[in-house]
């Protein structure tokens, strides 16, 4: 972890570096280090093997922002993505990095009003992030012209292929400028991608992040699925349920770290942040306080935490999932040292599940799913601590001085003895034992069904490529039996023997029922939690 590059060394302009700093990124991820200089240097075509969550959007987004000419108001780059969620996400990420450069970046996907898209296209757009179907609609209407694009980026290429978009992709490529540069990002590089590259990319450079041998220690490792907006509540509960919590909380950006510390201190916790914006002296001061346990929570970014050597941590919390397996191992290596048993907890939002499994596989480690502590369990844990502390005082008579006996005598004289103790407990622990001090956390995947943030369910279909099923055919099959719009069926994954789709929860039940046949194994069922995602 010593040969890390900085953003300054990648050839980006000061303007963009300012935007990166504002966004809170401290150092480039591995895929960014490889992609950015290469994209800026010449017109090489690139195939990059990178998962979601590795920072790949900024890896191609930053050079695009750098190279696209704001003064020319035509589409200069097309980014093809498999789903509308990704289209929105990618457009937002690039927008958030463009800084003061006057660029228009818009997502174009099915389901959104075509009239609105037309009007935005007419006003002039520099980068389009689109799903294949709707891009083709616009090409047919001649409302989108790709003959002048300089860059074509195919994002999550394996997903695009899995979803049966190959013909659409080929059609789109035929409409593009033959002199453009093509970049293809994919988590896996199956033979189909290679043959696509042979056909449409005139030579390319293949980028893969080298994987180092990784070993994790004996730390207990768990993960929680929580909505992004529930992360802070989950963190508070983890801190509260542990007697003497002493932990390091990892955030992805400086801004996230600051925000978590502000929320923690607002709620009365002893927490401080360390990240790249603090001077070396400030960092050392904070670290010393943490080592001496004057504060019991340290919130850090990966960069600032490098080299931190603290032995007896009870927890390492990945408030945001790390970018790669290597930093996962590095982060959690802080617990379980010197024979101490520590716990490493990773928060993931539902769409980070695959990333979690990827980390687990490459870090060769077992990360178990668990649930955020329930309020009643936290209150019980606190009561147990109060009980144990009181018992310890009672067992050591010398600990109770006369002045307390005198005060107690007065209380007993004036009040009903059976009421004094509950009143005293209320007086001392009113806040601590108040369940209403906790916020609600929305359970994900209640009743063993896969629900995502927006009340959707994941369904398993016992048909796959070997049954000559494609994403299109699946949608048609379901529409033939249930009243549902194509855009309500998302994240279609067609595997060899089976497939998955995501649909609104209320439609899921109808689909499952209408495909049931007496005496037959169900053709469509709810996807098992945690499996096959
Ligand atoms: P992606 O793989 O593009 O989906 O990115 C995953 C997340 O990592 C996004 O929330 C990005 O904003 C964030 N990210 C990308 N690059 C960096 C970086 N160099 N430092 C910190 N966070 C980053």
Q: Give domain limits for the chain.
A: 7-208, 219-372, 376-437, 450-526
Region 128-137 average pLDDT: 95
What's the CA-to-centroid distance between 222 and ligand 1, angstroms? 22
Q: Whose CA is nearest to atom 15 of ligand 1?
A: 55
What's the CA-to-centroid distance between 56 and ligand 1, angstroms? 7
Q: Whose CA is nearest to atom 5 of ligand 1?
A: 55
Collapsing DSSP to helix, strand or coil, 366 comes out as coil
Distance CA(63)–CA(41), nearest Å, equals 10
Residue keyed to tokens 């696209």: 68
Region 426-433 average pLDDT: 90
What's the CA-to-centroid distance between 311 and ligand 1, angstroms? 29
Spelled out in words, what is the top-level CATH class assigned to the domain 7-208? Answer: alpha beta
Q: How confident is the model at residue 86 (pLDDT cuts 50, 70, 90)?
A: confident
Does 222 have pLDDT greater than 70? yes
Q: What are phi and psi of 391, to 5 degrees?
A: -60, -40
Ligand 1 environment, Cβ below 6 A? 25, 28-29, 32, 52-58, 93, 252-253
Q: Whose CA is nearest to atom 18 of ligand 1?
A: 25
Pocket test residue of 323, 331, 349 for ligand 1, highest count of atoms within 8 A of CB: 323
Does 114 have pLDDT greater than 70? yes
Same fold, 219-372 and 450-526: no
What is the position in ligand 1's atom list of the atom closest to the CA of 50? Answer: 2
Query: Which residues have C-beta within 8 Å of that of residue 431, sequence separation ≥ 6?
Result: 437
Q: How confident is the model at residue 448 (pLDDT cuts 50, 70, 90)?
A: very low
What is the position in ligand 1's atom list of the atom closest to the CA of 96? Answer: 12
Tell which CATH classification among 3.65.10.10, 3.40.640.10, 3.40.50.1370, 3.30.70.330 matches the domain 450-526.
3.30.70.330
Q: Whose CA is nearest to atom 21 of ligand 1?
A: 25
Does 280 have pLDDT greater than 80? yes
DSSP code of 398?
G
Query: Which residues have C-beta within 8 Å of that of residue 469, sequence separation ≥ 6?
Result: 461, 463, 477, 494, 499
Region 182-207 average pLDDT: 90
What's the CA-to-centroid distance between 416 and ligand 1, angstroms? 62
Give whichever of 118-132, 323-337, 456-470 has the largest mean pLDDT.
118-132
Query: Lowest-confidence range among 268-282, 399-413, 442-456, 460-474?
Result: 442-456
What's the CA-to-centroid distance between 155 and ligand 1, angstroms? 15
pTM for this prediction: 0.64
Region 492-503 average pLDDT: 86
What's the CA-to-centroid distance between 28 and ligand 1, angstroms? 9
Q: What percent of the chain has pLDDT over 70?
A: 92
Q: How confident is the model at residue 2 (pLDDT cuts 50, 70, 90)?
A: very low
What's the CA-to-centroid distance between 23 and ligand 1, angstroms? 10
**Mean pLDDT rounded to a whole number for the chain:** 87
Query: Which residues have C-beta within 8 Å of that of residue 417, sequence separation ≥ 6?
Result: none
359, 365, 366, 369: CA torsion to nearest 10:
-30
What is the position in ligand 1's atom list of the atom closest to the CA of 7? Answer: 19
Q: CATH second-level architecture of 219-372?
A: 3-Layer(aba) Sandwich (3.40)
Collapsing DSSP to helix, strand or coil, 47 comes out as strand
């Amino acid at each position: 972890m010593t040969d890390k590059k900085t953003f300054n060394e990648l050839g980006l302009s000061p303007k963009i570096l300012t935007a990166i700093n504002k966004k809170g990124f401290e150092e480039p991820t591995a895929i960014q280090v490889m992609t950015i200089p290469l994209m800026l240097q010449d017109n090489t075509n690139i195939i990059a093997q990178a998962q979601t969550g590795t920072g790949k959007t900024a890896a191609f987004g930053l050079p695009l922002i750098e190279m696209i000419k704001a003064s020319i108001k035509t589409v200069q780059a097309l980014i093809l993505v498999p789903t509308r969620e990704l289209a929105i996400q990618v457009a937002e990420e690039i927008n958030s990095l463009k800084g003061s450069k006057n660029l228009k970046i818009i997502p174009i996907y099915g389901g959104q009003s075509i009239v609105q898209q037309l009007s935005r296209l007419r006003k002039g757009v520099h980068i389009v992030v689109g799903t294949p179907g709707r891009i083709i609609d616009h090409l047919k209407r001649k409302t989108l012209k790709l003959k002048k694009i300089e860059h074509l980026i195919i994002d999550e290429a394996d997903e695009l292929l899995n979803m049966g978009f190959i013909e659409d992709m080929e059609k789109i490529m035929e409409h593009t400028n033959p002199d453009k540069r093509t970049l293809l990002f994919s988590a896996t590089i199956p033979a189909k991608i290679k043959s696509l590259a042979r056909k449409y990319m005139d030579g390319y450079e293949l980028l893969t992040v080298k994987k180092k041998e990784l070993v994790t220690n004996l730390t207990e490792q768990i993960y929680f699925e929580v909505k992004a907006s529930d992360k802070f509540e989950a963190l508070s509960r983890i801190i509260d349920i542990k007697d003497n919590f002493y932990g390091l909380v990892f955030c992805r950006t400086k801004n996230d770290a600051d925000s978590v510390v502000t929320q923690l201190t607002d709620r009365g916790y002893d927490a401080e942040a360390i990240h790249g914006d603090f001077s070396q002296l400030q960092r050392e001061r904070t670290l010393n306080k943490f080592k001496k346990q004057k504060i019991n929570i340290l919130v850090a970014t990966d960069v600032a935490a490098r080299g931190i050597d603290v032995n007896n941590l009870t927890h390492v919390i990945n408030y945001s999932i790390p970018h790669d397996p290597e930093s996962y191992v590095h982060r959690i290596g802080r617990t379980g040292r010197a024979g101490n048993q520590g716990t490493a907890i990773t928060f993931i939002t539902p769409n980070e599940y695959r990333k979690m499994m990827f980390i687990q596989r490459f870090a060769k480690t077992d990360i178990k799913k668990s649930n955020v502590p329930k309020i009643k369990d936290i209150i019980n844990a606190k009561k147990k601590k109060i009980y144990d502390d009181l018992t310890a005082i009672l067992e050591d008579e010398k600990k109770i001085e006369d002045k307390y006996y005198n005060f107690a005598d007065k209380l007993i004289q004036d009040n009903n003895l059976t009421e004094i103790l509950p009143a005293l407990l209320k007086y001392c622990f009113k806040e601590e034992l108040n369940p209403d001090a906790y916020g609600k956390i929305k359970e994900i995947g209640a009743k063993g069904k896969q629900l995502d943030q927006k009340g959707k369910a994941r369904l398993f279909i016992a048909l796959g490529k070997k049954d000559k099923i494609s994403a299109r055919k699946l949608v048609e099959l379901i529409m033939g039996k249930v009243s549902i719009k194509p855009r309500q069926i998302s994240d279609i994954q067609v595997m060899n023997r089976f497939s998955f789709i995501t649909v609104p929860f209320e439609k899921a039940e109808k689909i499952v029922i209408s495909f049931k046949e007496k005496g037959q194994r169900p053709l469509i069922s709810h996807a098992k939690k945690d499996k096959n995602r």
